[in-house]
A and B are shown apart, each in its own frame.
Chain A
Amino acid sequence: DTAVSQTPKYLVTQMGNDKSIKCEQNLGHDTMYWYKQDSKKFLKIMFSYNNKELIINETVPNRFSPKSPDKAHLNLHINSLELGDSAVYFCASSQSGVNYGYTFGSGTRLTVV
């Protein structure tokens, strides 16, 4: 199936740990994104990569580091996890120059305890 897939779906971890969330798209899109959805369902963009280059880096703590090994992958690494990092993280992709909107993954629910 063509899609944006992210793993894991659920992640429970202790404060201070380091964790990664992986994202892959097989749609042939050239741009990938990470969004954070808080407990009130508000969605905020964190990062955007176009052809493996960072093009959007919103005000996000530098504990969050995206890594794009190729156009089809955009992973999110988080160092020294804090309670406030608990949220649902969505990966998405799109094709530049085409107004079809974004295709989203199913989300990773991160709980920091």
Chain B
Amino acid sequence: GDSVTQMEGPVTLSEEAFLTINCTYTATGYPSLFWYVQYPGEGLQLLLKATKADDKGSNKGFEATYRKETTSFHLEKGSVQVSDSAVYFCALISSGSARQLTFGSGTQLTVLP
């Protein structure tokens, strides 16, 4: 079945540091890939997405590139802010599934001033 593996957290960084959160996946066909963010006490918000190989999703300074050869979709940001502190979820929807969004386990990010 489909699965998403995310780097274990928690991750603690200083403000303006470079962020990478690793994500790899297993899926049939050509899945669509997503990063969601959950701020404290809130629901999940779509951060960015990519629907085919070599697509780059980007939003709010975050980027992730769909790498089919390595089945990866790593999240990066060049300079994090305190306001980026949240839980980040990598997710996928397989092309052949009943559109079930399958999540990774989430990575807690804390950015210190």
Contact = CB atoms under 8 A, between A and B. Distances in A.
Contacts of B45: 104
Contacts of B49: 99-101
Interface string B19-61: 0000000000000101010100011111001010000000000
Given A90-B44, A104-B45, A43 B98 contact: no
A55 interface: yes
B83 interface: no
B43 A31 contact: no
Chain B interface, DSSP helix/strand/loop, else mixed: strand
Residue picked from A96, A105, A107, most chain B C-beta under 10 Å: A107
A100 B51 CA distance: 9
Given A41-B105, A90-B44, A56 B100 contact: yes
B109 interface: no
Q: Chain B: interface residue count, which band? A: 20 to 34
A107 B43 CA distance: 6
B103 interface: yes
Interface in A15-57: 31, 33, 40-43, 45, 48, 55-56
**Which 6 A-B residue pairs are closest in the complex by CB-CB distance?**
A106-B43, A104-B44, A99-B32, A43-B103, A41-B106, A104-B43
30 contacts: A31-B99, A33-B101, A40-B105, A41-B87, A41-B108, A42-B103, A43-B89, A45-B101, A45-B102, A48-B99, A48-B100, A55-B98, A56-B98, A56-B100, A90-B43, A92-B44, A99-B32, A99-B49, A99-B93, A100-B46, A100-B49, A101-B32, A101-B34, A101-B49, A101-B91, A103-B46, A104-B44, A106-B42, A106-B43, A107-B43
Interface of A: 31, 33, 40-43, 45, 48, 55-56, 90, 92, 94, 96, 99-107
